[in-house]
Structure 1
Amino acid sequence: MLSVIIVIAIFITMLWYTVFYILSVGPAQLEKKIGERSYKVCAILRKISFVGMALSMIGEILYFFFPMNIGIKERIMDGVLGWVISILIGLLLCLFATLIIVKVSKIAKDSFVPQKSNEMFGGIYNKIRHPQAIADVTYWFALAFLLNSLFLLLIAILWIPLNLIIVVFEERDLKIRYGSAYLDYMSRTGRFFPRRAKYVSSK
């Protein structure tokens, strides 16, 4: 029974995070209704979304100790060697995600607290438009491998479409905030992966 409650809690907190994060990425649209205090409102909503993320992570850790019998094997990799490999993969993924977050934090504070004036076109943002989304999803995969849980790996996959939905709403607001500059930025920068450089023939 406890395992069922934990699984339900995981899905609820995933939805919690997604809904409040979507609400937090619309300050420019909200500004039309309530003025510049929209950024403070969105900052509060962003913090509430992070609470949902933290609770979801706690839920996944609890699931490791109280797994539910759902007809699939519990572990991604079996045996001692399997555990070692799984943990190593988890650590590498965690390192990769952390490096991205460090680069993001140096350029775009807006990723954590919505701000009206913020330059998002430098550093890692010259390569991809949403590095934080990549890092967020990677952390969930890292947790699944660190706990060597096949169920949590399936949950990690669910975070991909949820983050994609968030990005769609975020870009809608960024177009309002930055106008043609953001449209130009979108045309030359990939959403999640770097775009191949276009070479102009000299002939």
Structure 2
Amino acid sequence: MLKLILLVSSVSLFSLSAKEYSKFSDTENCNSANGKIAAAKHAVELSCEWIEKLGSRSISDPLGAFSKINESRHCVNNYVWVQDYMPGLNRTNYKNHFVMLMHPNNPRLQKQRDLAHKSFGGHKIFEKFNKSATIKPEGCWVPYLWEHKGYFERGEKVSFIKRCFDPTLKKNVVVGAGVYMSHGMFEPKDLCAPEKNPY
């Protein structure tokens, strides 16, 4: 009986959260820069809520957080990804342990270790996200350059990064969502680690 009650509670929370998330897929909320910023931040915070309450489980498990995050989009086609969290700021601790757990836009990244994706200047972007989650686990914005899908050039992008606990993996994970936008839109206090050259 207790198991049934827990299952019903999980389904109810899952449905409620999905309804709340869907409002950010409406273009009406994404016509302005502030709307896009709010949508990305909310998507990350809600995804963390799903992970902490439902557990990540597997992408194929409809009652798990990863399944819903994988299917959800904000501002039409923007997505949320989830990556492994490694404590500390020293890169020597990351080798062979730094894993992309879920990336809806590029499934080939999933389970990839020691991620090699870089922006200009040689920064390892996902590694930078991990460090940002160490500095400000409650959430902050990371500026960087990233390629536009379908284009060869790269543009200014900012991602909201937050650390949360996954009861399935029994460890912290890093959750993020980004928007293509001028870095000048953000106050230094909102950035994870303000830099003269964020690339």
Same fold (TM over 0.5): no
Higher helix share: 1
Higher relative contact order (CA 8 A, sep 6+): 1
Larger Rg: 1
Q: TM-score, normalised by structure 1?
A: 0.29
Higher strand share: 2
Q: TM-score, normalised by structure 2?
A: 0.29
